[in-house]
Amino acid sequence: MPHITHSKIRLAAGLALFSGAAAGAAYEIFCPKATFFGKVVTHGPRKNHAVGIVFDQTPNPSTAAACRRLHELSVPATFFIEGKRARAFPRTTAPIQAFEIGIHGEVYKPLIFKKEQEIRRNLRPAIDLALDLQNKGARYFMPPYGFKDLGLIRTANAMGLTVINPARTLRIKPAPGGCNHIKRSIEEAVTRLLYNIKPGDIILIPWSQRYGTAEMIPDILTELLVGLKALGLSPWGLRALAG
């Protein structure tokens, strides 16, 4: 049996400690709900029988349909914009001006492992665009893909932004076939979401060209609102919900 020296034991312990620290850091960066690096809002107070509804990567082909249905249902929501996309398609940005606006930055790309100056260059134009659209700057920042590190959170906070990573995401599985199959996919997705919903949760309705969200969004919102009402939960704006 080989002799195990104290140096080998220290080396093994050091490697184990390093591996644990690396795993912990990776979890904090890539898990949207992790909050060790700083304040990340995933939900509002649990005492309120309310939830928030947010949309990412806007404007996109489903934005106008979402705004129309929200108006019809008298439901508040928050749209997180990409600055470059919004400037390229200003007509599609118009419908969201009646709703609360948050930002992703200029483009929907991860902002982790970036220097403060680069982060500011990405966030500042989007903040200014929100100011132009609503005469008030954006208050909330949703990191692309939910990825965040200490530098990103600190820089966003210093720029007056609260980092948002929604607690719940509506995930629709693609369904082959006609309208009945699509309707069933929506019903199943909403049922899965509502099964674990809690008061105060922030719900992300993601944009997905692959799943035909533009055509499905009116039915998605109708089904979701019916389910929330059955649970005694009301949609609130993000500022009212998260403060």
Q: Following DSSP, what letter does each residue of 107-165 receive, concatenated?
A: SSS--TT--HHHHHHHHHHHHHHHHHHHSS---EE--GGG---HHHHHHHHHTT-EEE-
Contact (CB, 8 A) for 80 and 142: yes
Say what the pLDDT of residue 16 is: 45
Give the burial string for 58-75 (b: 16+ CB within 10 Å, else e). bbbebbbbbbebbeeeeb
Q: How far apart are CA 221 and CA 154, in angstroms?
A: 34
Q: How far apart are CA 73 and CA 66, in angstroms?
A: 11
Say what the pLDDT of residue 15 is: 40
Tell me the pTM: 0.86
Contact (CB, 8 A) for 84 and 118: no
Could you give the angle at the alpha carbon of 90 between the alpha carbons of 169 and 127, nearest 5°? 65
Cis status of the peptide bond prior to 59, with omega within 30 of 0: yes
Say what the pLDDT of residue 14 is: 46
- Taking alpha carbons only, the member of 113, 118, 164, 170 closest to residue 142 is 164
| DSSP code of residue 97 | G
List domains and CATH numbers for the chain: 40-242 (3.20.20.370)
Say what the pLDDT of residue 58 is: 95
Say what the pLDDT of residue 11 is: 47
- Taking alpha carbons only, the member of 15, 47, 20, 67 closest to residue 221 is 67
Q: How far apart are CA 161 and CA 82, in angstroms?
A: 15
Q: How far apart are CA 100 and CA 55, in angstroms?
A: 11
Say what the pLDDT of residue 21 is: 41
Mark the ranges of the chain whose per-residue pLDDT is less than 50: 8, 11-22, 24
Burial class (CB in 10 A: 0-12, 13-18, 19+), 57: buried
